[in-house]
Structure 1
């Protein structure tokens, strides 16, 4: 790595702010995140859910999409976990894995206490489908 590229990486890292990421599908498994993020230990994950979204399938892969018919009386809920992304390198690894069909969309995440079951609203993001809708198919009852 040249001095200039080392400085660019440092500049990226100095602007990076740790953020909460909602994970669903295989992304919510500790072994997957540990491998993709090159972590030495299992990641700390917190049960969570988001409202106003649903899962569809792109081939065998889950794709998170906005759910237009979600209402307060009949909310569309997706369950998953949260992970705190702490470095620019982690974020880039996740973006590389997800590819260009997904973007990180800011959203409200409800973390669920494993001790009390209480929900705490937090701001974070999730990888949301950002490609052609006709490539997706329904995923039954949305696990």
Structure 2
């Protein structure tokens, strides 16, 4: 591990899709201890639905995406470039979430063009019966 950069020889930069509190720039900046606001790119995924764990969104895989309408979930992508940042994100998400690979679509803010990319998402890994239906309210977490 290179202590100055927080990287290890087996770490590969990864594109993460955020759909909840981590897509709020001030929250992500604080979690990663960044000096500037992070660069987030609009994106969306399908094949999942959002439930709530208290005020926090929890992504769960759709049993049958076609039957559930496969509604796109809006979010943002962020390129994690060092191991320390990934560890901080994993700690923030905790044991109730796990990383899964996914094909997502980044959306160009300038043109609206959708580009498919490989990335990772945090998916609910806790007890399913503690999740509720509802709408995530990001304003509850944004700094005023």
Q: TM-score, normalised by structure 1?
A: 0.87
Q: Once the 2 structures are TM-superposed, how far is the Cα of residue 12 of structure 1 from its aligned partner?
A: 6.2
SS state at 1:91 partner: helix
Q: Report the count of equivalent residues.
A: 137
Q: Does 1:44 align with 2:35?
A: no
Residue 91 (structure 1) aligned with residue 86 (structure 2): yes
Contact 2:52 2:135 in 1 (8 A): no
SS of alignment partner, residue 79 of structure 1: strand
Matches within 5 A, 1:2-41: 13-41=8-36
RMSD over aligned Cα, in angstroms?
2.5
Aligned-partner SS, 2:90: helix
- Residue in structure 2 matching 1:105, options 89, 100, 104: 100
Tell me the TM-score normalised to structure 2 length.
0.86
The structure that is helix-richer by fraction is 1
Matched, 1:75 2:70: yes
Q: 1:74 to 1:93 in 2, by over 3 A?
A: same
Q: Is there any run of 5+ residues in structure 1 with no aligned partner, and where?
A: 1-5
Deviation at residue 72 of structure 1 after TM alignment: 9.2
Equivalent-residue separation in structure 1 for 2:6 and 2:36 (angstroms) = 27
Structure 1 residue 69 displacement after superposition: 3.0
Distance apart, 1:90 and its partner CA: 0.2
Q: Is the radius of gyration larger for structure 1 or structure 2? A: 1
Q: Following TM superposition, by how much is the alpha carbon of 1:7 offset from its aligned partner in structure 2, in angstroms?
A: 7.1
Q: Does 1:121 align with 2:116?
A: yes
SS at match of 1:124: strand
**2:45–2:104 Cα contact (<8 Å) kept:** yes
- The 8 Å contact of residues 53 and 130 in structure 2, kept in 1 or not, is answered as yes
On the 8 A contact 1:67/1:76 being kept in 2, the answer is: no
